[in-house]
Chain A
């Protein structure tokens, strides 16, 4: 069955450093991959999308890579700030309108 794995343990990073989150998947060939941010008690918010034929996407301090051979996406936050502390979810999409979410990685940026 399709499986998405994200770092199950929380990631603690010093402010100003680059945070790198990993999303691995098996038994799936997604057409695109998305990253969402979720704050406690709130719904997820879309951040970035990367298609299967794209290697890298950037948006301000965010960078996403997508390696369909390794079946892996990396999500980077450069110059991290305490306000970046949240849970980050990756999601895979195919030809249908539904997408599959990973369980998320909790990121904590300490001042």
Chain B
């Protein structure tokens, strides 16, 4: 089992460029998440998908879009990158939705710099 995989690991963009961060999990989890982590800010939820075919906004969705392509894959798109989106992005998945364990499994992260 690879767990949660993310690509790319590192990326440098210029302001205004677009890109898609890819995430896949092989644990047959229903729920998937995208977070960003900035120094001193902790993990902030961008978007999540409680199950295949549904997506919902998190705490900081502006400037991002997501696609739950199938049960395994959940992508995050930056349409027009801004320096404020420089961050480390983590994808996570969990095996349950609703009130239950909801242990989250994280990918290794994507380090994004926007110049």
Contact = CB atoms under 8 A, between A and B. Distances in A.
B53 interface: no
A98 B33 contact: yes
A interface, size bucket: 20 to 34
A34 interface: yes
Contacts, number: 68
Given A31-B99, A97-B48, A98-B48, A43 B42 contact: no
Given A43-B92, A95-B98, A102 B42 contact: yes
26 contacts: A4-B42, A31-B99, A32-B102, A43-B4, A43-B92, A43-B106, A44-B90, A44-B104, A44-B106, A46-B103, A46-B104, A93-B99, A95-B98, A96-B97, A96-B98, A97-B48, A97-B98, A97-B102, A98-B58, A99-B104, A100-B45, A101-B43, A101-B44, A102-B42, A103-B40, A104-B42
Interface of B: 4, 31, 33, 35, 40-45, 48, 50, 56, 58-59, 90, 92, 94, 96-99, 101-109
